[in-house]
Amino acid sequence: MSTVAQQDKTRSPMSERLDLIISPIFAAALALLGLAVWLYSDVDQTTLNILEPVKIQRQIGETLILGLSSSLLVILIAVPIGILVTRKGLPRLKNFLVNTLGLAQSLPAYGLIVIFFSFMGSGILTVIFALATFSLLPVLRNTIVGLEQVDRSVIDAGRGMGFTPRQILFKIELPLSVEVIVSGIRTAIVINVGMSALAFLVGGGGLGETINSGLKLDRGPAILIGAVMVAILALLFDFLSALAQKYLKPKGL
């Protein structure tokens, strides 16, 4: 009994620490790569035009807005639905939803953006909805899995002591599943920030514009630096979510 507990104690913080270290290391490596490209390849006026600081700043801002608002939308939709379908009597709805959303995720993000474009027109909202649809599944699935892995006897004890269904949810089920749910959100944020590079297709802006200009004008360094910036942003949010995961997880688990 005690040895098992000790093993858990020593192993879990280590994997947690590793979790927090990996994204910054990758981000730093990518930043160095970008810097090296900037310094050692011949950067002509066209490349400089593409990478104009004002443009880049705007595109980073757009990427953040796209990534964050689509993720927020996902949380607002998927977590409540996940909670709803794990209540008594809705197992069929649960299976239906998971399967349908699995289908949505198996479509290419590109295709989803085009589908949404076809009935929403161009603009940032189209992208936000397309991204949200694409990344709904990991959050929904983790919410369901997280809630279902909560020890039944703990819930039984809670009910038996007079917790109301609402108290069971907020004081037992959610605290005990928050780590799994946030891990799903983390996946969604990384997907959304990364996929926001496609937003330019329907006039949604973002760093995809830089990459696209680089491709059209055949400027390798611009493509690379654009891609590196997208990746660094995604890794940054991965890191922030890992932090959130660590601090939201209740003590004692």
Q: Which tokens in the block code for residue 94? A: 């649960």
Reduced to 3 states (helix: H, G, I; strand: E, B; else coil), residue 108 is coil
Q: Does the footprint of other proteins cover residue 153 (CB under 8 A)?
A: yes
Q: How far is the CB of 40 from other proteins (least distance, A)?
A: 52
Task: State CA 185 to chain mean position distance.
Answer: 5
Q: Does the footprint of other proteins cover residue 53 (CB under 8 A)?
A: no
Q: How far is the CB of 1 from other proteins (least distance, A)?
A: 6
In one-letter notation, the amino acid at residue 26 is: F
Q: How far is the CB of 109 from other proteins (least distance, A)?
A: 37
Q: Does the footprint of other proteins cover residue 162 (CB under 8 A)?
A: yes
Q: Does the footprint of other proteins cover residue 159 (CB under 8 A)?
A: yes
Task: State CA 11 to chain mean position distance.
Answer: 26
Q: How far is the CB of 245 from other proteins (least distance, A)?
A: 15
**Interacting positions 11-50 with other proteins (CB under 8 A):** none
From the list 233, 209, 215, the residue with the least C-alpha distance to 52 is 209
Q: Which of 3, 5, 89, 218 binds other proteins (CB under 8 A)?
A: 5
Q: Does the footprint of other proteins cover residue 248 (CB under 8 A)?
A: no
Residue 172 and residue 150 in contact, taking contact as beta carbons nearer than 8 Å: yes
Q: How far is the CB of 133 from other proteins (least distance, A)?
A: 33
∠190-140-123 over CA atoms, to 5°?
Answer: 55
Q: Which of 28, 154, 240, 248 binds other proteins (CB under 8 A)?
A: 154
Q: Does the footprint of other proteins cover residue 160 (CB under 8 A)?
A: yes
Q: Could you tell me which residues come within 8 angstroms of residue 132 by beta carbon, excluding any fewer than 6 positions away?
A: 70, 71, 73, 74, 77, 192
